[in-house]
Amino acid sequence: MPLMTTKPMFDLAYDGGFAIGAFNVNNMEITQGIIEACASEQAPLILQISKGARAYANMAYLRALINCAVSEHPELPIAIHLDHGDTVDLVNTCIEDGFTSVMIDGSHHPYDENVSLTKAAVDAAHAKGVVVEAELGMLGGIEEDVVGLDAEEYEKNVEKFLTDPEEAKDFQDKTGVDSLAVAIGTSHGAYKFTTEAKLAFDRIEAIMKTAPGLPLVMHGSSSVPAEFIDAINKYTVVDNSNAELVKKFAELGNEWQQMPKSMGVPEDQINMAVGKYGVCKVNIDTDLRLALTAAALEVWGKCNVNVLEWINGGRKGKQPEFMFDPRKWLGPGRSAIVDMVKRKLHVLNVAGKAPAVIEQWKKLGEPLPDYYKQAACCG
Ligand code: G3H
Ligand code: 13P
Ligand code: ZN
């Protein structure tokens, strides 16, 4: 049962020219899509769960889904990770829930508070065989339960928010953290940059010099592909009962956009960060959300077109089906997740790395976190 911490993964990734994809899970379709893609590409993976995901889905349900994935795919190295944990209490709860890795994000606190919060989380987690990721520096963009900076302010002043290499070394020494999320010019969410992002490769290099061997993590690494924003805008239907909205929509015509165009982190730059530097983990959430939503909306959009054709054709034959069966749009949403995750696995050079990670895990003889020693459930 290769549920493991991220250590065997990062041991190989640090100078192996690849990184592990950390994908956010919120429901069954997303989990299944990620697992199907990683199984077909034989890629190790990190399933990460935010505080928001815990509240939305109920951890017991997510846990059961992950248990199924683990028992269906014993060949896949899988870590379960808390994304953006904000308190030691939450870290402890996740350890009890069987997470093998946790993030404590004190990046928005003053430096000394970030150190003491992270140290407390490291002490709690290491005592139970769980590894810890922390964050230093500030990212742009804001999501539901994640503190960040206003995207525009970040883009204008990105340099001053980047991780300080000397501080990274001091932080590593004082906290004993296992991996570090660094601010190197990425940003959370769907509204990242108005111009093409440029990752601060010199900063990654400098951190690798001051803190050698420390696995680095890139948050906010979605690429926000324009075709998904276009699809979401194309198929977002105006509420016809809202006269004011219909009028405004007609006035604005093609200029009107539900989702503004935005540029994400270019995939070639991500590929460079993982291929040439010690970036071991790359977080992707937004691109999965966009892919699923665009695919689902496309189903509804096509349904409308078919109905219109049927009406214009004199209503002959069977009326086209309305998509009130959720499987009809969640299914294509799940397939879109499979495609998106496969695409990311190639950007991260991680396809085919599962067997080597399993070997490394066996070599380390890594004891499983305490939870698995007690639980009879989680084969
Ligand atoms: O970086 C944060 C993740 O995208 C999680 O977002 O808090 O809305 O689940 P969430
Ligand atoms: P994106 O919003 O760019 O997908 O980043 C996700 C993330 O960093 C989760 O922690
Ligand atoms: Zn993040």
List the structure tokens of 285. 């959430």
pLDDT of residue 377: 42
Q: What are phi and psi of 73, to 5 degrees?
A: -130, 70
CA 361 to chain centre: 23
Check pLDDT > 60 for residue 88. yes
Nearest CA to 277 out of 367, 331, 199 is that of 199
Q: In angstroms, rounded to a whole number, what is the distance separating the alpha carbons of residues 127 and 75?
A: 28
| pLDDT tens readout for residues 205-254 | 999 999 999 999 999 999 999 999 989 888 876 677 888 877 887 787 75
| pLDDT tens readout for residues 349-373 | 999 999 999 999 999 998 776 666 5
Q: Which atom of ligand 1 is nearest to the CA of 286?
A: 4
Helix, strand and coil content of the chain, in percent to the nearest 5, comes to 50, 15, 35
Ligand 2 binding pocket mutation candidate from 86, 133, 285 (most atoms within 8 A of CB): 285
Contacts of 348 (CB under 8 A, 6+ apart): 18, 19, 20, 21, 270, 271, 274, 282
Where is average pLDDT lowest: 29-33, 78-82, 156-160, 282-286?
156-160
| pLDDT tens readout for residues 152-205 | 777 778 788 899 999 999 999 999 999 999 999 999 999 998 888 899 999 999
Ligand 1 binding pocket mutation candidate from 143, 192, 288 (most atoms within 8 A of CB): 143
* Three-class DSSP category at 179: strand
Give all domains of the chain, ordered by start, each with its CATH number.
Answer: 7-224+261-286+337-374 (3.20.20.70)
- Give distance in angstroms: CA of 39 to centre of ligand 2: 22
Ligand 1 binding pocket mutation candidate from 25, 51, 54, 144 (most atoms within 8 A of CB): 144
Q: Which atom of ligand 1 is nearest to the CA of 53?
A: 9
Q: Which atom of ligand 1 is nearest to the CA of 144?
A: 8
* 144 confidence band (pLDDT: 50, 70, 90): low
- Give distance in angstroms: CA of 144 to centre of ligand 1: 6
Contacts of 78 (CB under 8 A, 6+ apart): 2, 3, 4, 44, 45, 46, 47, 66, 69, 70
With pLDDT > 70 as the criterion, what percentage of the chain qualifies? 93
* 256 confidence band (pLDDT: 50, 70, 90): low
* 376 confidence band (pLDDT: 50, 70, 90): very low
Contacts of 210 (CB under 8 A, 6+ apart): 165, 166, 168, 169
Q: In angstroms, rounded to a whole number, what is the distance separating the alpha carbons of residues 18 and 140?
A: 25
Ligand index nearest the alpha carbon of residue 54: 1
List the structure tokens of 229. 């924003």
Nearest CA to 227 out of 284, 300, 298, 282 is that of 298
* H or E element at residue 169: helix 165-175
Cβ(186) to ligand 1 under 6 A?
A: no
- Give distance in angstroms: CA of 194 to centre of ligand 3: 20
List the structure tokens of 56. 């939305």
Contacts of 93 (CB under 8 A, 6+ apart): none
Cβ(188) to ligand 1 under 6 A?
A: yes
Looking at the annotation, which residues are catalytic?
83
Cβ(285) to ligand 2 under 6 A?
A: yes
Mean pLDDT calculated for residue range 272-295: 97
Mean pLDDT calculated for residue range 323-334: 94
Cβ(164) to ligand 1 under 6 A?
A: no
pLDDT of residue 238: 67
C-alpha to C-alpha distances, 260 to 3, 186, 206, 220, 289, nearest whole angstrom: 40, 18, 35, 18, 16
Nearest CA to 108 out of 91, 93, 86 is that of 86
Cβ(24) to ligand 1 under 6 A?
A: yes
| pLDDT tens readout for residues 51-86 | 999 999 999 999 999 999 999 999 999 999 999 999
DSSP character for 164?
Answer: P
Concatenated DSSP letters of 236-285:
PPP-TT-HHHHHHHHHHGGG--SS---B---HHHHHHHHHHS-EEEEEE-
- Give distance in angstroms: CA of 353 to centre of ligand 1: 27
List the structure tokens of 163. 């991780």
Ligand index nearest the alpha carbon of residue 284: 2
